Structure 1
Amino acid sequence: MQLELDQIQGTVLRPRPTPYVGAYLLYRIDDPAQARLMLRRLVPHVTTAADWQEPEDAAWLNIAFSHPGLRALGLSRQVLDGFPQEFREPMRACEAQLGDLGEGDPTNGKLPERARFDIGLLLIAPDRATFEAKLAIGHTARQKLAGVTPVSRLDIRAPESGRDHLGLVDRASRPFVSGESGRPRAGQVRARAGEFLLGYVDELGRIATGPGPERLWRNGTYLSIRKLHQKVALFQRFRKENEDVYGEELPGARLTGCPHMLLCRRAVYGPALPAGVLDDDGIARGVVLECVNADPGRQFDFSPHEWIFDPGLPAFVVSKGSEQVFLPGISGLRYLAGAMPD
């Protein structure tokens, strides 16, 4: 079955531009009518996966929702209760499975930290000017809508080195999705579209579906998002104090990666800490891990910290927030922007 690329939001399949600059813009819904108006203004500007291999516009604007956000928009209780448990419940409910205990407990920080959000705009562009143009679209859509309140913004960017703050390569996990155009690269794993998109057959031979009318969930998916703070000064101090043991190598660190059936990417946030600085400057820096999955309960089982260090080493990476969000297809966005009769 061919993918309906013009109905799929671009972040699902599009390769991120290199270099990149972007942001996560998060909002709270205080007036559902105004929120639906904002959506109607935004939908014509949402970037799809059409021509994703050679897009005319290398930047994108996409829209995601938390479960409270769908409730605030006015979805019925019956539909809301039909979403997967992992999407309905706060991520802190599975803190033990994810390893978010102690300092990494999600109650120490959320996405956004210590505040509820309902709607998220995902912006990515190859340069600052293009990013600002996408950002202006979001600002214009919210003009004179006091019932949609900004609650958080997290800027992301590509480091010049192509590595994150701990020196690890910024890479993505990307299987070849059945129904997309082209051929898989050498060594690239094939995966059925239903692993990542609702409305298609998954690896179990079932059609992945969602609750409510088909136009709400078809070509939609879920994003599992984790904000991971990196203790760069502690890391650099440890390396300096133990350079006779590790030399130029990272101290026992290795990427655990994700299961090959996951479609994941990382984005870096925060300015680089200059080499040789051994004291924390108080500025937040780290990575955001984003995984696309049609069944968050079956797929969201990757390593909690993405990196594993030798036992006994300091905790260089700490979770500062986790969230499951729903990324509708274009028909779903239009449905949510309308009256949503059940």
Structure 2
Amino acid sequence: MSEPTAGAVPTLELADIQGTVLRRRPDDYHGTYLLYRIDDPAATKRSLRAVLPKITSAADWESPRPFTLNVAFSHQGLARLGVPPESLASFAPEFQAGMASRKEVLGDSGANDPAHWTPPLGGPEVHIGVMIISGRPDGLREPVEAARQLAGVSLVYRLDVGVPVTGREHFGFRDGISGPYLIGSVEEPLPGQDHVQPGEFVFGYPDESGAVPNGPAPEVLGRNGCYLAFRQLHADVAAFRRYLREHARSPEDEELLAAKVVGRWRSGAPLALAPEHDDPDLGADPLRNNDFRYRDDPRGLLVPCGSHIRRANPRDGLADTVVQTRIHRVLRRGAAYGPLLPEGVLEDDGAERGIIFVFMGASLSRQFEFVQQVWLNDGDFAGLGAEQDPLVGNRDGAGVHTVPARPVRRRLTGLPRFVTVRGGEYLFLPGLTALEWLTTLPDPTVDPSTPEDTK
């Protein structure tokens, strides 16, 4: 297990932090993502006040209610609600600019370019994001109805998500295994989790340097909030299956190649602990399936240095470098959408399917953008030159993935694009007190001295 960072354990204000930041989703869940445009700020604020009691904090995540509901805002949405210009200017530059404008940093070119994104993603109409999750299908009815009661807004996007019947994401892998542990969090850490100071993810607390980072101003707006990066990723499952079939020596080798691309077997068992054969019992055991390191595998003979999970979280594999991995960690919440491609089918059926990734942290540039730009899109940090992430890399049939082996390494060439960005947004997930504060702001188009009731 990674050692905890030194220092006193901070007391987190759980009742003021939106629950999705600190709490794990159930293994079997159903959900929906809703994006709204604000048409009438005054009406929106009045209806948000009515929704406030249903928003889930980290303290009431396990309440009798069969759902969780969390709300976030884009920079334009905050402006529409009347956040003062000086406060809007206190947000991080990348948040103010929006995800689409950061395409050069994120590597969103070619088919991933924002010019090809699914509207309204990347456009000016996304102001409010609502995330609803339930452990059962009928649990969505109440929160979706509450979201429908929002006044002064137009629904511009809805995407329903959930866990496929297989319990795995579309490429066939068990998902959501690895993630950092926030020191002071309510949940118990699992073996193998990095212990990271909460200020790396939530404003108002010390980060890994021991300082409390500057968040959005005023403090009532920034405290207990965090940035959120929302990405809709289309999965070309048929292309992934075809590539494995065409480059494998046998059905067993097909599964090994898939594991060498991802770093885990489809069951979730890590190659670091099960290098030769899958171990479903290991994959299903949260006390074992994430408890490993890379220091004893510097060449990547067990887990290729360029594999997806080793790129997304290098663990101690960069211990002898200047890179401090803890300051580049992100909290991630993933969810599948769309129908499964039937088992064994090697041709695409034209259906829209993929994964929604939600990344949360206190710094979009140092966390989400760094991981995307340096660890996923660049091979130099691992001595792999121009190689990109073999699963989510942006390429057109020219990708390479090196699989170290004795006596001769194996190189997978001609990797096509398996994942295409359908769009994304940068949002801010405020604390509950900040949410209430937002509903009290005067409308920016009206004289602040004018009582709202007389407008």
TM-score by length of 1: 0.91
* CA distances 1:97-130 after superposition (whole Å, capped 9, x unpaired): 3221111112211574465210011001111011
Equivalent residue for 1:166? 171
Residues 1:111 and 1:221: Cα distance change in structure 2 (over 3 Å): farther
Partner of 1:10: 19
Equivalents in 1 of 2:187, 2:80: separation in Å? 40
Q: Residue 295 of structure 2 aligns with which residue? A: none
CA contact (8 A) 2:178 2:193 kept: no
Of 305, 308, 332, the match for 2:390 = 308
Corresponding letter in the other structure for 2:71: I
Trace 1:203-214 onto structure 2 (pairs within 5 A): 203-214=208-219
What is the match of residue 317 of structure 1?
Answer: 419
Report how far residue 155 of structure 1 moved: 0.8
- Check the 8 A contact 2:100/2:122 in 1, yes or no: no
Residues 112/129 of structure 1: CA separation in 2 closer, same or farther (3 Å cut): same
Matched with 1:269 is: 337
> SS of the residue aligned with 1:292?
strand
- Distance, in Å, in 1 between the alignment partners of 2:202 and 2:119 is 23
**Alignment partners' CA distance in 2, 1:168 and 1:182:** 25
Q: Which residue of 2 is the match for residue 253 of structure 1?
A: 261
Q: Are residue 180 (structure 1) and residue 248 (structure 2) matched? A: no
Q: Which moved more, 1:2-11 or 1:130-139?
A: 130-139
Residues 1:183 and 1:234: Cα distance change in structure 2 (over 3 Å): closer
Q: Which amino acid aligns with 1:325?
A: L
Amino acid paired to 1:29 = I
Distance in 1 between residues matched to 2:81 and 2:187, nearest whole Å: 38
Flag structure 1 segments of 5+ consecutive residues without an equivalent.
Answer: none
Give the counterpart letter for 1:118 in structure 2: H
What residue number does 1:222 align with? 227
Partner of 2:51: 42
Aligned match of 1:294 in 338, 352, 362? 362
- SS of the residue corresponding to residue 137 of structure 1 reads helix
4+ residue stretches of structure 1 with deviation over 6 A?
A: none
Give the match for residue 394 of structure 2.
none
1:192 to partner: Cα distance = 0.8
Distance in structure 2 (CA, Å) of the matches to 1:20 and 1:193:
26
Does the residue aligned with 1:133 lie in a helix, a strand or coil? Answer: helix
Q: Structure 2: how far apart are the matches of 1:203 and 1:340?
A: 37
2:161 maps to which residue?
A: 156
Q: CA deviation at 1:74?
A: 1.3
Which structure is richer in relative contact order (CA contacts within 8 A, separation 6 or more)?
A: 1
Residues of 1 paired with 2:203 and 2:442: CA distance?
19
Q: For 2:130 and 2:257, how far apart are their aligned partners in 1?
A: 35
Deviation at 1:180, TM superposition (A): 2.1
Mark the runs of 5 or more structure 2 residues left unpaired by the alignment: 1-9, 263-307, 314-324, 378-388, 392-400, 402-412, 449-455
Residues 248-303 of structure 1: CA deviation (Å, up to 9, x unaligned):
34455222334553211211111101123333222211111111101212212213
Counterpart residue number, 1:68: 76
Amino acid aligned to 1:9: Q
Deviates further, 277-286 or 33-42: 277-286
CA offset at residue 162 of structure 1? 2.3
Distance across 1 between alignment mates of 2:101 and 2:177: 27
Q: CA deviation at 1:177?
A: 1.2
Say if 2:277 is the partner of 1:195: no
Query: Residue 88 of structure 1 aligns with which residue?
Result: 96
CA RMSD after TM alignment: 2.3
Offset of 1:58 from its aligned partner? 5.3
How far apart, CA to CA, are the structure 2 residues paired with 1:149 and 1:51? 29
